[in-house]
A = this chain, B = another copy of it.
Amino acid sequence: MTDRRTLVLIGAGSAVFTRGLLADLIGATDLGAWEIRLVDVDTENLSIATRLAEAMVASRGVGDSIRVTSSLDRRAVLPGADFVVTCVGVGGRPAWQADWETCMKHGVFQPVGDSIMPGGISRLLRTTPVIVEIARDIAELAPDAFYFNYSNPMTANIQAIKQYAGVEAVGLCHGMHHIQRELAQLIDVPFERTSTLYAGINHLTFIYDFRVDGQDAWPIIRERVHRELAEAPDPAVIGNIFYDTPSAWHNPFAWELFDRYGAFAAAGDRHVVEFFPERFLTGDYYGKKLGIDAFSLEEILEWGENRYQGMRRQAIGEEPLDESIFARSGGEQEQLIAIIRSITTDSREMFSCNVINNGLVPGLPDGAAVEIPGVATARGIRPISVPDLSAPLTAILQRRLASVGIAVEAAMTGDRDLVVEAMLADGAVFDPDAAAALTDDLIAEQLRFLPQFQ
């Protein structure tokens, strides 16, 4: 590495990641000088993200240490990168909404649709081939860079990057960190005194060990949760996404799993229910409907759009820059900065990472992407072996992984029949004709993002 480190951010146009990264980097004065190369395929989005970044740098007067550039051509800016981050979301919020609506027409209710079930498969079809192309460019032009991916569906993308581009990317998601924080909050303990061990796949990771000061904290958690769940819930809490104080009724299904398996399923009910489709065949969830009044997708989309428009107005000068962002904490970017710090100082901090299994979690396929703890060393993140999952938890993960390989192959080859098979293997739809009809509608709806199916 030269004195000035270079980070290439691909998919910078979403602006959220760009803003968070800049905010955190500006605060991390110990990390030295940086060149941040923003890349996106959308001219306007890239322009807004770049102007926002420049405004932030200017506001803090750190133009010497943080240099921002932008490019529509990733191949032009990859050479020389020390770090590459992908956070592309093909089709953005409108495509996401279309998945959700199309699925509902076929009786499939999803609160998120970024990982699995028909909505996750549809997202995979339009995203994974793009990610693989990017990974091939990285392998060619920046083979020694540390490569982190944030794009969903994470499990499929990490597997496909390895399988089709021969690259072992590390997938990052702040979900595990977030849930550990919530567990700490639940029993009024500072996050820093807690520790976790876990294994699973992104958005279905089982925390099987949770400690406070090294002592098993599951008994305290259990007592607290049982006490809360013994009371009838405030209906407003069920399926609510936006809350400050976590309570047991925010994740009643995950706590049911906890009672069965002695492990808490991150990333909480909103994501976890999608991995148990046979339990929520009609979308009913504790008196509400998944994706509608439970974990409403429209609320999420609206919140995201509002946030983006705010950033946009600040970028183009319609509004003053919101200086509070420099004081923010948490989120994906914060974790990324911490990882970069651990790598550059070889300080061996641990983070959750999505990596190719290769025996680290016994019982899961070697080629699958698992979410487990890893140590950030000077040579990159090195996952630890996690041999602790019980047979039932392993079986649940095995079943959920069954569809991933098929869906990836379908996405890479443009084979519609394989998409139908991925739907059936996924398990949210049983009937082949129903799976075919849903598949055809999703492909038709997203066709402009699916060149391989055109």
Residues of A that sit less than 8 Å from B by CB: 168, 195, 197, 209, 211, 213-214, 216, 260, 278-279, 281, 344-348, 350, 358-360, 362-363, 365-366, 373-375, 377-379, 382-388, 391-392, 395-396, 398-399, 402-403, 405-406, 409, 418, 421, 424-425, 427, 430-432
A-B contacts, 24 listed (Cβ < 8 Å): A168-B387, A197-B377, A209-B377, A209-B378, A214-B378, A260-B421, A260-B432, A278-B278, A279-B431, A358-B359, A358-B385, A359-B359, A359-B360, A374-B384, A375-B375, A379-B388, A383-B385, A391-B406, A391-B409, A391-B418, A392-B424, A392-B425, A395-B421, A399-B399
Using known A-B contacts A358-B359, A363-B365, determine if residue A350 contacts B347 with beta carbons closer than 8 Å: no
User: Would you list the 10 A-B pairs with minimal beta carbon distance, nearest first?
Assistant: A359-B359, A214-B345, A392-B421, A214-B346, A382-B384, A278-B430, A395-B425, A395-B402, A195-B346, A358-B359
Report whether A430 and B279 are in contact in the complex, using a CB–CB cutoff of 8 Å. Answer: yes
Tell me the smallest distance from the CB of A366 to a CB of chain B, in Å.
8
Report whether A398 and B402 are in contact in the complex, using a CB–CB cutoff of 8 Å. Answer: yes
Report whether B386 and A385 are in contact in the complex, using a CB–CB cutoff of 8 Å. Answer: no
Report whether B385 and A385 are in contact in the complex, using a CB–CB cutoff of 8 Å. Answer: yes
Residues on B with beta carbons closer than 8 Å to the beta carbon of A345:
213-214
Chain B residue with Cβ nearest A424: B392
Report whether A403 and B409 are in contact in the complex, using a CB–CB cutoff of 8 Å. Answer: no
Cα distance, A195 to B342, chains bound together (Å): 12
Cα distance, A238 to B217, chains bound together (Å): 55
Report whether B378 and A392 are in contact in the complex, using a CB–CB cutoff of 8 Å. Answer: no
Cα distance, A183 to B383, chains bound together (Å): 26
Report whether B348 and A195 are in contact in the complex, using a CB–CB cutoff of 8 Å. Answer: yes
Tell me the smallest distance from the CB of A187 to a CB of chain B, in Å.
16
Residues on B with beta carbons closer than 8 Å to the beta carbon of A346:
195, 211, 213-214
Tell me the smallest distance from the CB of A335 to a CB of chain B, in Å.
17
Residues on B with beta carbons closer than 8 Å to the beta carbon of A377:
195, 197, 209
Tell me the smallest distance from the CB of A255 to a CB of chain B, in Å.
13
Using known A-B contacts A378-B211, A430-B279, determine if residue A399 contacts B425 with beta carbons closer than 8 Å: yes
Residues on B with beta carbons closer than 8 Å to the beta carbon of A195:
346, 348, 377-378
Report whether B379 and A375 are in contact in the complex, using a CB–CB cutoff of 8 Å. Answer: no
**A214, A344, A365, A374, most chain B CB atoms within 10 A:** A214
**A211, A388, A399, most chain B CB atoms within 10 A:** A399
Known contacts A363-B405, A374-B384, A399-B399; 17 additional CB pairs below 8 A are A195-B378, A211-B346, A213-B346, A260-B421, A278-B427, A278-B430, A279-B431, A281-B430, A348-B350, A358-B385, A359-B360, A360-B385, A375-B375, A375-B384, A379-B388, A391-B409, A391-B418
Cα distance, A386 to B392, chains bound together (Å): 29
Tell me the smallest distance from the CB of A450 to a CB of chain B, in Å.
19
Tell me the smallest distance from the CB of A451 to a CB of chain B, in Å.
22
Using known A-B contacts A345-B214, A375-B350, A384-B375, determine if residue A425 contacts B396 with beta carbons closer than 8 Å: yes
Cα distance, A78 to B391, chains bound together (Å): 28
Residues on B with beta carbons closer than 8 Å to the beta carbon of A362:
358
Using known A-B contacts A214-B347, A391-B418, A402-B398, determine if residue A197 contacts B378 with beta carbons closer than 8 Å: yes
Residues on B with beta carbons closer than 8 Å to the beta carbon of A403:
395
Cα distance, A211 to B343, chains bound together (Å): 12
Cα distance, A36 to B350, chains bound together (Å): 33
Residues on B with beta carbons closer than 8 Å to the beta carbon of A216:
378
Cα distance, A195 to B377, chains bound together (Å): 9
Report whether A385 and B388 are in contact in the complex, using a CB–CB cutoff of 8 Å. Answer: no
Report whether B379 and A391 are in contact in the complex, using a CB–CB cutoff of 8 Å. Answer: no
